[in-house]
Amino acid sequence: MKGFIHRQSPARIISLGFALVIFIGSILLIMPFSVNDNVDLHYIDALYTSTSAVCVTGLVSVDAGDTFTPVGQFILAMLIQIGGLGVTAVGAGIIIIMGRRVDIKGRNLIREAMNLDSGKGVIRFVKSVFQTTLIFELLGAALSFIVFSKDYPPLKALGISLFHSVAAFNNSGFDILGNFQSLTAYRDDILLNLVTCVLIFFGGIGFLVIREMRSYGFHWKKYSMHAKIVLSVSVFLVVFGTILLKLTEDVTWLGALFQSVSARTAGFATYQLGTFSFAGLMVMIVLMFIGASPGSTGGGIKTSTFFVLFKGIKSAATNKSEKAFHYSIPRETFRKASVVTLLALTVVIVSTYLLLVMEPDIGLADALFEIVSAFGTVGLSTGITPQLGFGAKILSILVMYIGRLGPLTVASLWYFSRGERISYPEGNIAIG
């Protein structure tokens, strides 16, 4: 078994790791100690919930608050935590805690999973990831407790606060408030809205950027090109989304801000999205598709991919080189961004078509929203998730899995490099 694992590529090992955790999670969630006495939970729903948790999505076919016991909710929180940090990082963290050394293969896995440039300093980086996560989640839980303690007994309020903080920082839209309500009861609570937005934002910019912010503070010039792109695009999308949602929907500015932030792979809702106009849903689909940033707890094609794609198109249209923040952008980066985006669009289009075939009563807007939410590991829904049939749930599970791993990673799973033995002369193709 060990020899088999060592022969596999990092992408395959990471993929198998996520699949194994999803399967184990589904078994634990369907156990009697995880499910309330008056609930009949089918395995497909346990598998769906486990996939949604490990892929930090938040789409639910059964309500987590009404279905699972405190033990089941704890297991769900652990699955979210493992999915957000990444199976590889969690495994490395356990090895470090046990006092054992991480071998070269393990360091390469961490580098691949966390989008690091090199294997240098990966152990220190893993430690900083765990420290950062602990700080954010404990602070988030403490501030959330101030809100939830007004409506629940202290012990239950503490459990809800911890669960909410873990779900928010890991950009997973799960809640245990019951009745599929998400955070609609707290749409006007400024503290909970802002705390949740902060947790989502920092969980979505990536640990590499957080590390630079801790090291350099507000010294913008010291930030790397990657950090500048991530922060600039993230802030732009939040502001852009807030303004457009306020213009299209009957929501407060706080509600527009919250939904703009949440649409970037988090999945919490303070308004019923089934009541949103097509224009509002389109804004959120764009935000969900772009998603979070590399090395973060979120999904989507990523902010850096969107930025490089925009710069590349601008460069081709203006016949100028691609530059940003006094750096030139490598042409290979634009090629990779184009491939990622094309693969993502292919997954979304094909999956939406299949969902419409399986569920002909669902409208195009609802189906597209559901699939983009699953691919972007967002978790927002117009309300159709619980009504999906068996085949549609399997489709959604696959889309969430692809979205968490990334379409390029999935595409490379069956690729075996043999080297090119034949070269051909370049041909001419008319474009545009």
pTM for this structure?
A: 0.88
Are the CB atoms for 374 and 57 separated by under 8 Å?
Answer: yes
For residue 310, what are its two tokens?
């925009």
Are the CB atoms for 201 and 261 separated by under 8 Å?
Answer: yes
| One-letter identity of residue 96 | I
- Domain coordinates in residue numbering, the chain: 7-411
How many CB atoms are closer than 10 A to CB 139?
15
DSSP state for residue 68 in the 8-state scheme = B
Region 152-176: mean pLDDT is 93
Region 168-172: mean pLDDT is 91
**Residue that the structure tokens 């973060």 belong to:** 296
Express each pLDDT in 59-83 by its tens digit: 899 999 999 999 999 999 999 998 8
Kind and range of the H or E element at 323?
strand 323-324
For residue 314, what are its two tokens?
């601008």
More confident of the two residues 111 and 198: 198
Alpha helices in 291-330 (DSSP H): 303-318
pLDDT at 335: 86
Tell me the average pLDDT of the chain: 86
For residue 158, what are its two tokens?
């503490």
Are the CB atoms for 214 and 308 separated by under 8 Å?
Answer: no
Express each pLDDT in 383-431 by its tens digit: 899 889 999 999 999 999 998 887 767 666 655 555 556 666 767 676 6
More confident of the two residues 100 and 246: 246
| One-letter identity of residue 48 | Y
Q: Report how far residue 231's alpha carbon sits from residue 333's, in angstroms, rounded to the nearest whole number.
A: 19
Q: Report how far residue 402's alpha carbon sits from residue 93's, in angstroms, rounded to the nearest whole number.
A: 25
